[in-house]
Structure 1
Amino acid sequence: MESNLALYKIFYAVANAGNISRAAEQLHISQPAISKSIGRLEKNLDIILFTRNSRGVSLTDEGKILYQYVNTAFEAISSGEENLRYMSKLGVGHIRIGVSATLCKYLLLPYLKGFVFQYPHIKITIKCQSSIHTLNMLERGEIDIGLIGKPEIAKGLDLYSLGEIEDIFVAAPSYLDNLDLRVPGGGKDFFKNGNLMLLDEENLTRSYIDGYLRRNHIQTEHILEISDMDLLMEFARIGLGIACVVREFVKDDIEQGGLVELPLPVPIPKREISFACSSATGLSQPGRLFWEFCTSTREE
């Protein structure tokens, strides 16, 4: 069919021009090549498509029937190309983004606000879930772009860094006061004495923190698992326990005294946050527009 498509293109040009020499000029190929291609198509179909006359060529009855179908096909292709050009110019399309609720709130939304203003006709679907699920959806081609904490192994992904974040442990002053009342000096060894609030084990952040604890031989006693970092921060604010959160997300709380950052024996290494897409499938035109918008915004 692929080789026949080229023959049909030549047939279509000759039928419209009614003349082999004019068709040759339009297609930028020689007249003998045109004649040879028409001959091949006639041989493949076992019919005569053109008759010669003093002014050029004209379609036979069989050729007219074939022309109706070929004309419909090429008009459909032309219409499709025109629609694609229009969509590209107008910025029409669909982008599927995977991101955790917290990263969406604190990092993605500022980019979305500017992008939607610039490309109001592009539909955006946000899938809020853990970074592990986002990576799985990228692998299955169910989303176009993910916003994730950079995994240790990024095989098959194209990444664009948005910078680093730092994990810390925080608590409300009232919780620390009560902890010291229950266990004198309990705040100094809060891993053992405190009620630690961590993300659940399906989260990449939890895996990262568990690795930190193992490497530094830190033992924990009481852990409350929570699926969402926003809830971690809220529970810390009301004095429910000591939460592992991202410093950048509680900066105002710390500055205003609502939360206290607890000293660590060894600082938790910073980690990178990145936009990610599949290297294998690449990005659609709307996806490329979003990717380029975010990278240019970041560079500014």
Structure 2
Amino acid sequence: MVSKLDLYKVFCIVGESGSFSKAAKALYMTQPAVSQAIMQLEGELDTRLFNRTPKGVTLTNEGSLLFEYVHSAINLIDVGEEKILEFKNLTTGELRIGVGDTISRYFLLPYLEAFHNKYPNIKFKIENGTTSELCTILKSGEVDIAICNFPIDDPALEQKACIEVQDIFVCGEKYKDTVPQPLSFHELAKQPLIFLEPRSISRRYAEDYILSKGVKIAPEFELGSHDLLLEFAKINLGIACVTREFSLEYLNKGLVHEVQLEDEIPKRHIGICFLKSVPLSTASMKFVEIIEHT
């Protein structure tokens, strides 16, 4: 069955070439098939579109009017198909990533650079937020992928662990010299503690583990960023729970010192998550591959 779009494509080529035979050659069809297609279209529109002459065909007034619209429409379809190919070939498009400030700074940046060097025409849109906020905008379609703290308890999300990280406690010079080490969680809970705000996944992970050991913590400071944890610890405001991998600059320079614990908090992961129900775009798939294989 010939579709209306196919009929219009034949009509357009006949109108451009002024000949059924030339149109048939361009369309890899037989001349009778081209003639039949035009007759079918004229029958459906109840309008004669071409004047038939021994030298070929010419558009009627009605045919000329229709040709302007059909020619424009088919050109737009062709442009649309070209744009789809550009997206598939990563010569244009946008990659929308949800990520927190700390993970962006200490983990994501090298991968953004590698992806941009390989696919310079793909634009980035970065949305910042906590892990729970990122999961929400991921499910609403505002971002394609999110780089989050794990674990995440959400069956709608596919999760790919990327790096293993360790939660530790750090302090400044004052507490380094006065706090006995190694500390038990009971002894730790008596210290002035500095944690991220309660909605943070990493905060809840550390807090839940300590609680599983029968110890409930009551932080004196609850902050909105990892860098602030380090700064507060550096000026001796208390003992901060931080991610070791994101604190190396402070640790290596001696700005803060790791507090040795009798019982380490188990390691956790940072990784990529995306919707199980929605196929990843080509750009998203390539970005995930870069992270997994770099």
SS of the counterpart of 2:155? coil
- 1:191–1:218 contact (8 Å) kept in structure 2: no
- Unpaired segments ≥5 residues, structure 1: none
2-side partners of 1:104 and 1:130: how far apart? Answer: 12
Aligned residues: 292
User: Partner of 2:199 in structure 1?
Assistant: 202
The change in CA–CA distance for 1:38 and 1:160 in structure 2 (over 3 A counts) is: farther
2:174 corresponds to: 174
Q: Which residue of 1 aligns with 2:227?
A: 230
- In structure 2, the residue corresponding to 1:267 is in which secondary structure? coil
Q: Indicate the residue corresponding to 1:213 in structure 2.
A: 210
Asked if 2 retains the 8 angstrom alpha-carbon contact of 1:175 and 1:240, the reply is no
Q: 1:90 to 1:99 in 2, by over 3 A?
A: closer
The answer to whether the Cα contact below 8 Å between 2:182 and 2:261 also exists between their aligned partners in 1 is no
CA spacing shift, 1:221–1:186, aligned 2, 3 Å: farther
Does residue 191 of structure 1 match 2:216? no
SS in 1 for 2:78: helix
C-alpha distance after superposition, 1:53-108 (max 9, x if no partner) = 32443322211110111112223333455566678778443332211110011001
Aligned to 1:268: 265
Give the Cα separation in 1 of the matches to 2:216 and 2:157. 35
Q: Which amino acid aligns with 1:213?
A: I
Partner SS, residue 146 of structure 2: strand
TM-score by length of 2: 0.83
Q: Which position in structure 1 is the counterpart of 2:274?
A: 277
Which residue in the other structure is 1:249 paired with? Answer: 246
Q: Deviations over 1:193-216 (max 9, x none)?
A: 111211112222122223212322
Compute the displacement of 1:294 (Å). 3.5
**For 2:51, what is the secondary structure of its paired residue?**
strand
Q: Does 1:59 align with 2:56?
A: no
Calculate the TM-score normalised by the size of structure 1. 0.82
Residues 186, 193 of structure 1: 8 Å contact kept: no
Q: How does 1:288-299 map to 2 (within 5 A)?
A: 288-296=285-293, 298=294
What displacement does 1:218 show?
2.0
In structure 1, C-alpha distance between the alignment counterparts of 2:84 and 2:197, rounded to whole Å = 44
CA offsets, 1:190-245, max 9 Å, x none?
Answer: 33211121111222212222321232222224442111111112211221111111
Tell me which amino acid in the other structure corresponds to 1:104.
Answer: S
Pair 1:28-2:25 in alignment: no
- Partner of 2:142, secondary structure, is coil
Q: Which moved more, 1:59-68 or 1:73-82?
A: 73-82
- Secondary structure of 1:201's counterpart equals coil
User: Partners in 2 of 1:255 and 1:262 — Cα distance?
Assistant: 14
Instruction: Compare the two structures and name the one with the higher helix fraction.
Output: 1
The 5-angstrom pairing of residues 152-163 of structure 1 reads 152-163=152-163
- Three-state SS of the structure 2 residue aligned to 1:197 is strand
CA contact (8 A) 2:162 2:270 kept: yes
- Residue aligned with 2:72, SS: helix
**8 A contact 2:183–2:260 mirrored in 1:** no
Q: Does residue 1:126 correspond to 2:123, yes or no?
A: no
Report % sequence identity.
36
In structure 2, the gaps of 5 or more residues are none
The answer as to 2:145 corresponding to 1:145 is yes
Contact 1:187 1:193 in 2 (8 A): no
Measure the CA separation in 2 of the matches of 1:222 and 1:59. 83
The answer to whether the Cα contact below 8 Å between 2:182 and 2:262 also exists between their aligned partners in 1 is no
Deviations 1:235-290 (A, max 9, x none): 11221111111111223444554433334454322222113333444444544454
Matches within 5 A, 1:6-45: 6-45=6-45
Comparing 257-266 and 80-89, the one that deviates more: 80-89
Going from structure 1 to structure 2, the CA distance change for 1:57 and 1:100 (only over 3 Å counts) comes to: same
The whole-number CA distance in structure 1 between the counterparts of 2:244 and 2:99 is 19
Specify whether residues 221 and 85 from structure 1 end up closer, same or farther in structure 2 by C-alpha distance, changes over 3 A only. Answer: closer
User: Matched residues in 1 for 2:26 and 2:160: separation?
Assistant: 45
Matched AA of 2:144: D
SS of residue matched to 2:227:
helix
1:141 to 1:52, Cα distance in 2 relative to 1, 3 A: same
Instruction: Give the letter for the 1:116 counterpart.
Output: H
SS state of the match for residue 143, structure 2? coil
Query: 213-222 or 27-36: which moved more?
Result: 27-36
Match of 1:75 in 2: 75
